[in-house]
Amino acid sequence: MVSAIVLGLIFLVLIIFIAAAIVIIRPYEVGLVERLGKFYRMLSPGINFVIPIIDRVIKVDMREHVIDVPPQEVICKDNVVVVVDAVVYYRIIDAPKAIYNVGNYLQAIIKLAQTNLRSIIGEMELDQTLSGREVINAKLREELDRATDQWGVKVTRVEIQKIDPPASIQEAMAKQMKAEREKRAMILEAEGMKQSAILKAEGQKEAQIRKAEGDKIAAILRAEGQAEAIRKIVEALSTADEKYLTIQYLEKLPEMAKPGNMLIPYDVQSLASLLKTISFVYKDGGDK
């Protein structure tokens, strides 16, 4: 009976020993084996065997992680206090360094990020700080990556989540933005009125030009019509005899004597000479 109990205990201890000797490492992990307090070897993903009690296994997650850097007050170059909040993305590239070269790499990264944020923003004015997040991100990532290299940690990205200036500064900035928007609106309205006036003036100019061209064409057509009428009259008069001209002159004399009309004294010889001259001029002009 006693022997059966002893065998059972031995079997149980053996099972526990075998179970403790089997270590399963996940695909995103590596295992560090310490034998008798000294780093011995690394375990790759999968099933691994160690010596229980003698060996101690430390699993290290090699995936990328993010750390939230607590908000802190930082003084800018122009003595304005702002509250800065950031996040740091990192991953472990050398597991033994991350475990043995620094006591707590997470806390060390946070403190290092806060220190460097104060240093970087302290060299910048408020306007540069608010508009230069990319510059701050790049400088902070560079500083952290250089410092954490000896810890076996790679800082992949740094992001400034927010930069909050004091309430008085925020109120002043809001008023400035409102003034800028009103200024742009007034400028756009003035430009619109200017463009409208230019278009209106150009339209009036074009209308006047077209009207002048129309008046010119109408005057030319009237002059051509009058010239044609005069030529036909001259042609008719050049073939008429003196008696006919005398009769026509006497019939038109009352109308010609009205105010505003030109009265030509009747002289047969002079009138005949005038008609011949006019006939010659119009005939010469028609031939040309």
Distance CA 170, CA 14 (A): 70
Q: What pairs with residue 160 in β-bridges?
A: 86
Query: What is each CA distance from 249 to 179, 241, 266, 269, 275, in whole angstroms?
Result: 86, 12, 7, 14, 13
Distance CA 235, CA 238 (A): 5
Q: Which domains does the chain have, with CATH numbers?
A: 20-61 (no CATH), 65-165 (3.30.479.30), 240-288 (no CATH)
Dihedral (CA of 231, 232, 233, 239) sign: positive
Alpha helices in 68-163 (DSSP H): 95-100, 105-122, 126-131, 133-148
Query: What is each CA distance from 86 to 83, 111, 128, 252, in whole angstroms?
Result: 10, 12, 17, 110
- Residue 69 exposed, middle or buried by CB count within 10 Å (0-12, 13-18, 19+): buried
In the numeric block, which tokens belong to residue 257?
A: 């004597």
Which pTM does this prediction carry? Answer: 0.57
Q: What is the pLDDT of residues 79-127, one digit of tens each?
A: 888 889 899 999 999 999 999 998 888 999 999 999 999 899 888 888 8
Sheet holding 65-75, edge to edge: 65-75, 81-92, 153-164
pLDDT at position 265 over 60: no
Q: What is the pLDDT of residues 4-14, one digit of tens each?
A: 777 778 888 88
Residue type, 36: L
Helix axes 268-287, 242-256, angle to 10 degrees: 100
Q: What is the pLDDT of residues 196-233, one digit of tens each?
A: 888 888 888 888 888 888 888 888 888 887 777 777 76
Distance CA 84, CA 78 (A): 16
Distance CA 152, CA 30 (A): 14
pLDDT of amino acid 53 = 86
**What distance separates the 2 farthest-apart alpha carbons in the chain?**
178
